[in-house]
Amino acid sequence: MRIIAGDWRGRVLRAPSWDGLRPTSDRLRETLIDILGPSIRGARVLDGYAGTGAIGIEALSRGAAWVCFVDRDPRAVSLIEANLSSLTVDRRYAIIRADVTTAADACGDAPYDVAVFDPPYDAHAAAVALEAAVPLRGDRLRVVIEHAKRYAPPTRHAGFALARTVRAGDSALSFYERG
């Protein structure tokens, strides 16, 4: 896994050494950040189900003001810490070991611009992630959920409306806005 662009372009990130963690592919991560485009610069980002931290690190590399990494697995938290320690990043982040359903409480009450969730692929993963995003503050909050393309994302759920879905391989990214 490599950082696709930004200040740390080309830097290698550590991958998990255990089964059960499916890092977002470089291609899909590039698609995600390209769609978010310049709006990522100066943004406050939540990386839910952070795993390796690659999505949040990519956001930091492209100028995000602050990223909150949330994962409940202590191995993932250690992996995120290791990946961040290999970079020259100031403290523009927090790493929280918690269930993503408590992410809003864990990361504080400052408003967010983007929340990205990469839950384990199952039929209800998108709905659970949207429910976790409900308490997040932010007038222009955009929620992105990575999911298996075989599972259709809800068009409306928990106060969020589907704006678009992009498919790549077996995965998809669904973009939501409040409404």
Tell me the DSSP string of 2-16: B--SSTTTT-B-PPP
- Please, what are the domains in the chain? 26-178 (3.40.50.150)
For residue 169, the model assigns a pLDDT of 87
pTM for the structure as a whole? 0.93
List % helix, strand, coil for the chain (3-state, nearest 5): 30, 25, 45
The secondary structure element, H or E, covering residue 129 is helix 125-133
For residue 90, the model assigns a pLDDT of 83
H-type alpha helices, 40-106: 54-61, 74-85, 103-106
For residue 147, the model assigns a pLDDT of 94
Q: Residue 107's Cα: distance from chain center in Å?
A: 14
Distance CA 51, CA 112 (A): 20
Taking residue 103's Cβ as centre, other Cβ atoms within 10 Å add up to 27
Q: What is the pLDDT along the chain (179 residues), one digit of tens a residue?
A: 889 889 999 999 988 776 665 666 778 888 998 899 889 999 999 999 999 999 999 999 999 999 999 999 999 999 999 999 989 888 899 999 999 888 778 888 899 999 999 998 889 989 999 999 999 999 889 999 999 999 999 999 999 999 999 998 899 999 999 98
* DSSP secondary structure code for residue 18 in this structure: S
For residue 88, the model assigns a pLDDT of 82
Taking residue 117's Cβ as centre, other Cβ atoms within 10 Å add up to 27
